[in-house]
Structure 1
């Protein structure tokens, strides 16, 4: 596998939640800046597209753009502010909220309404907030003031405002113009510092902000080399973000769409003609429909929410490519993304009884990575059956710690060790799935990996007969015991039946039940909404956790393998 450019070891940075930055502030926020540039000196210059600059807002936010209300996420209350603003504010103890503040997200609806109405009042308010940020930062900074992604997004906003002033479409006084130039100079200097543009998805915004500034204010000293730097880094970022099989490399289907959308907007500017975007984006679009469950929603793997992607789901083939019996009655779509480490077995578009099985084993970095090697999700009979823990969010609390544990995924755990880093600085192992195969009317998804730490190995085979059964066979090499984990979707009732290791899962009204048979060499435990320790939970929205049943199959030391069978009881 080709060399990955994704930066290892920065889980939180890649999330968009923001990590504190230790970059020293540029000196240009308090110095007079003189460029051969002035408002109106590029009369008639074409407007920049806010969407192409990642300046996005919805109708509701635009309707309240002038209300001094900041609410970047729906799960948090409104924050009412006045100018001058306290840019060190952290009213909710939330890193992501602080990031959104320093990314000037409250300017997005202002710019959006200005672009729609060409009303100077919206432009003036946006400039006032930008100048307020500059005034506050002359002799101080907050932990996220110069965070990489926030800096890039501010640079894009500055480019938009400066372009409107230079084109003569918006009025701007001399003092305000001087402040915008100071801000532009400061952002150009920091964005061109060696190593500032990171190798994760934040780098896209940093490089694009630099390019936007240089396209708008080429007189900036840092733009002598800045434009070439932005093109080179964007090309490297694209090559590092998407693997050769077309799938995004950050372990989360959610970020496949995120990065694909961002790069499509970036490419729409025409500023990156000498990059590899076109062919790579075509592969990413082709892969997208297969990264969805049978209901058109993303699996909750890694840092993914279960977003509905109807337009991409509609592009699925209606013709199967694999049949599991001689009569050709049980036919499926089967895809193996061998670079990413995903295997998907699912029904075709428009199937009478839709179903999907999503299997994962890949480890390319720590970015959005959960310890979920050889985990899977199963959707059938009009809903999720076995489901991953999901994203939850990025606040470092007990719930976040839980979703980042092996015990939160449909895999095995060895004494609770969490493999976030290879041993001894070894390279990340990459994909660990095997080519799927057929046997006796079943499709077999498999893989194997070596967890870090004490000698251990886990190999798994899943025998899948759609509409009939799912059998999980694990083989382990480990001096101690291990646990198999099976997490059911909320609303499914699981209970122990008469025999040891025999359980029944009631999927709900109009859905069949499952008879569950676990390995006789192991014992079973059921968890539901436990807090000490946390177990039996699933993320059902950003910052939200819902109780659900979890089956733990506990295998003692000396047991080298275990089998769990899930049989449909019609």
Structure 2
């Protein structure tokens, strides 16, 4: 790990966090060789059980049950897909060889295993073995969830045998706290939840040896998460995942020494984090809709299990989940798809272990089922395991219409119709991200994301990679990749690591007016110190679309670039200074600027040359990027977006 990473990370910490981190480092070093091995975590007791899950599964609609059986068959065939990658197919009789837990499916490399203490493995900025998220993803054991549901529904003996083989193999290959699987608390929280789902759905059908191994794994996970909690600048979705894991283990295994303490801790922190990480207007504090859904799903699962056990959580959890659902309803198209905003690593809590194109709306359908209320917005056509376990709403609500501002979270959503087309706009005037490092934020202040007729047109570029992304990680979260203005190619906020920022642009909403002649205006200060410029952007309705006016008050004749990143299925050409935007060979819209400037349209190439879009974690594809470069006069630069008649 580089010295620069340490320096930048330390700069983001408060004095109290610095003291805590040094103490934590010492604790991790002292633990080596002292609290390892399965022996100290083997316990006896009743079969662990999360209340409510099995009953809800049995009552699931037939279509959901069919999808569960199909997902189980896929796993039993030796296949696994995640994060844009396919794992090597394994023979059904050899699904879980020892090396599978250390395998990177992209590079083919093997990460360190039981021979190495987990905290001696440096995984950040690794370039040879690959992005650690791939090996962690498989070790979340979420592919066991559809197997367990299938076994519970049909008695599938092959699914039961695969679960037992997987647990035995993982147990042998990953003793506490050895190897890459024990590095991160969020991974332990998710793995614990997977095993709790398994034992709650089909535990009575498993052998005594498998149950004993699961009990030991869960006990060790509880101890590890309680010993090394995410705090201070890392207390984001990681904290919720860890607390959810501890809390659910405590409910399922109340006889463990830490259970009473961690159940009480979980009740307190889940209520607190529901208020912190879901803002007063429903926006997730980390800005990403999918990370918001991830956090909401953890809280939702804990609330469901606690309520089913007759010990419901206290606080404002239900109202916070309801607020989040309302926010996602405004973002969603008719199929429940939401635009990409900030990071998305495709994390899920309950899953059939396959790609979900509308995860946030699926979580909101589950929230509606849990609350016993009509859904706030559309639900996706796809179904998943959470639909069975939460009794999700089977149908969605009609799409919303008009202008809605989420002032706390920092977004204004416009849902309009123009010339026979539906037009949806998301205008970003949000904070960079959550807590001091804003780990999952992008430098995208005042960007616009536009959807026409339910299909993306101007898109957020996506995420691509995390730890191994290098310069690509920087590009995909940098300002030039987003639909906003940049000065001299500089980012509005300054990066100081793959999940850290040394300077954060502050955005401010100045005005928002609804109705037929809607308008919204905001500014950010990210360029003030370096270029003595504010960036102010105003969006306003026109007869056939909308206009964008960009101003740089404080500067005189400053040169700038204004960018629009097209979705991959769209094309663009320039004719007589007007950009023609096409989809499927048909021109659907135009872009034109009142002020003179150089217009370029490029896709792919080296970093910074053209447009790129990441449709899923680990994938990037070429996509046209429209760029206007020119002088921004005192009155600003005005761009008109006009739709063609449908």
What TM-score, normalized by structure 1, do the two folds share? Answer: 0.78
Following superposition, the deviation at residue 512 of structure 1 comes to 4.4
1:191 aligns with 2:266: no
Q: What residue number does 1:315 align with?
A: 397
C-alpha distance 185-457 of structure 1, shift in aligned 2 (>3 A):
same
Q: Which runs of 5+ in 1 are unaligned?
A: 1-7, 11-20, 319-331
Q: Provide the C-alpha distance between the structure 2 equivalents of 1:471 and 1:136, rounded to a whole number of angstroms.
A: 57
C-alpha distance 226-120 of structure 1, shift in aligned 2 (>3 A):
farther
Following superposition, the deviation at residue 211 of structure 1 comes to 1.6
Query: Is the Cα–Cα contact under 8 Å of residues 87 and 142 in structure 1 kept in the other structure?
Result: no
1:27 aligns with 2:63: no
1:343 aligns with 2:412: yes
Match of 1:418 among 491, 507, 518: 491
Q: What residue number does 1:101 align with?
A: 138
Following superposition, the deviation at residue 359 of structure 1 comes to 0.6
Match of 2:560 among 470, 482, 488: 482
Instruction: Tell me the SS of whatever aligns to 2:318.
Output: helix
Following superposition, the deviation at residue 385 of structure 1 comes to 3.8
Following superposition, the deviation at residue 485 of structure 1 comes to 1.3
Following superposition, the deviation at residue 457 of structure 1 comes to 1.8
Query: Is the Cα–Cα contact under 8 Å of residues 294 and 356 in structure 1 kept in the other structure?
Result: no
Q: Provide the C-alpha distance between the structure 2 equivalents of 1:569 and 1:144, rounded to a whole number of angstroms.
A: 53
Following superposition, the deviation at residue 379 of structure 1 comes to 2.8
Instruction: Tell me the SS of whatever aligns to 1:213.
Output: helix
Query: Is the Cα–Cα contact under 8 Å of residues 515 and 569 in structure 1 kept in the other structure?
Result: no
Q: Provide the C-alpha distance between the structure 2 equivalents of 1:347 and 1:215, rounded to a whole number of angstroms.
A: 47
Q: What residue number does 1:388 align with?
A: 460
Query: Is the Cα–Cα contact under 8 Å of residues 470 and 565 in structure 1 kept in the other structure?
Result: yes
C-alpha distance 397-218 of structure 1, shift in aligned 2 (>3 A):
same
C-alpha distance 143-534 of structure 1, shift in aligned 2 (>3 A):
farther
Query: Is the Cα–Cα contact under 8 Å of residues 443 and 493 in structure 2 kept in the other structure?
Result: yes
Following superposition, the deviation at residue 291 of structure 1 comes to 1.2
Q: Provide the C-alpha distance between the structure 2 equivalents of 1:382 and 1:181, rounded to a whole number of angstroms.
A: 47
Q: What residue number does 2:163 align with?
A: 126
Match of 2:244 among 200, 205, 208: 208
Q: Deviations over 1:116-144 (max 9, x none)?
A: 23456644543443343333334873334
Match of 1:516 among 567, 592, 595: 592
Instruction: Tell me the SS of whatever aligns to 1:354.
Output: strand
Aligned length: 525
Following superposition, the deviation at residue 553 of structure 1 comes to 2.0
Q: Provide the C-alpha distance between the structure 2 equivalents of 1:382 and 1:177, rounded to a whole number of angstroms.
A: 47
Q: Which runs of 5+ in 2 are unaligned?
A: 1-10, 14-23, 58-64, 107-129, 347-355, 363-374, 379-395
RMSD: 4.1
Query: Is the Cα–Cα contact under 8 Å of residues 494 and 503 in structure 1 kept in the other structure?
Result: no
Q: Deviations over 1:431-457 (max 9, x none)?
A: 632331269x73222111111652442
Moved more, 186-195 or 65-74: 65-74
C-alpha distance 30-566 of structure 1, shift in aligned 2 (>3 A):
closer
C-alpha distance 240-139 of structure 1, shift in aligned 2 (>3 A):
closer
Moved more, 75-84 or 222-231: 75-84
Q: Provide the C-alpha distance between the structure 1 equivalents of 2:342 and 2:259, rounded to a whole number of angstroms.
A: 38
What is the 5 A alignment of 1:254-333? 254-269=290-305, 270=307, 272-293=312-333, 297-303=337-343, 307=357, 312-313=377-378, 315-316=397-398, 333=402
Following superposition, the deviation at residue 238 of structure 1 comes to 1.3
Q: Provide the C-alpha distance between the structure 2 equivalents of 1:437 and 1:475, rounded to a whole number of angstroms.
A: 22
Query: Is the Cα–Cα contact under 8 Å of residues 28 and 183 in structure 1 kept in the other structure?
Result: no
Query: Is the Cα–Cα contact under 8 Å of residues 503 and 516 in structure 1 kept in the other structure?
Result: yes
Query: Is the Cα–Cα contact under 8 Å of residues 156 and 210 in structure 1 kept in the other structure?
Result: no
Q: What residue number does 2:124 align with?
A: none
Q: What residue number does 2:441 align with?
A: 369
1:459 aligns with 2:469: no
1:379 aligns with 2:451: yes
C-alpha distance 292-236 of structure 1, shift in aligned 2 (>3 A):
same
Instruction: Tell me the SS of whatever aligns to 2:322.
Output: helix
Q: Provide the C-alpha distance between the structure 2 equivalents of 1:457 and 1:219, rounded to a whole number of angstroms.
A: 59
C-alpha distance 563-144 of structure 1, shift in aligned 2 (>3 A):
farther
Instruction: Tell me the SS of whatever aligns to 1:362.
Output: coil
Instruction: Tell me the SS of whatever aligns to 2:551.
Output: strand
1:472 aligns with 2:549: yes
Instruction: Tell me the SS of whatever aligns to 1:211.
Output: helix
Q: Deviations over 1:350-374 (max 9, x none)?
A: 9953222211121232243111100
Q: What residue number does 1:406 align with?
A: 479
C-alpha distance 160-120 of structure 1, shift in aligned 2 (>3 A):
farther
Query: Is the Cα–Cα contact under 8 Å of residues 120 and 171 in structure 1 kept in the other structure?
Result: no
Q: Provide the C-alpha distance between the structure 1 equivalents of 2:357 and 2:40, rounded to a whole number of angstroms.
A: 48
Following superposition, the deviation at residue 519 of structure 1 comes to 1.8
Q: Deviations over 1:295-315 (max 9, x none)?
A: 753122223599455972352
- From the two aligned structures, give the one with the greater helix fraction: 2
C-alpha distance 467-71 of structure 1, shift in aligned 2 (>3 A):
same
Q: Deviations over 1:369-425 (max 9, x none)?
A: 111100002233674443332344545155443321211111111233334569999
Instruction: Tell me the SS of whatever aligns to 1:481.
Output: strand
What is the 5 A alignment of 1:485-496? 485-496=563-574
Q: What residue number does 1:88 align with?
A: 102
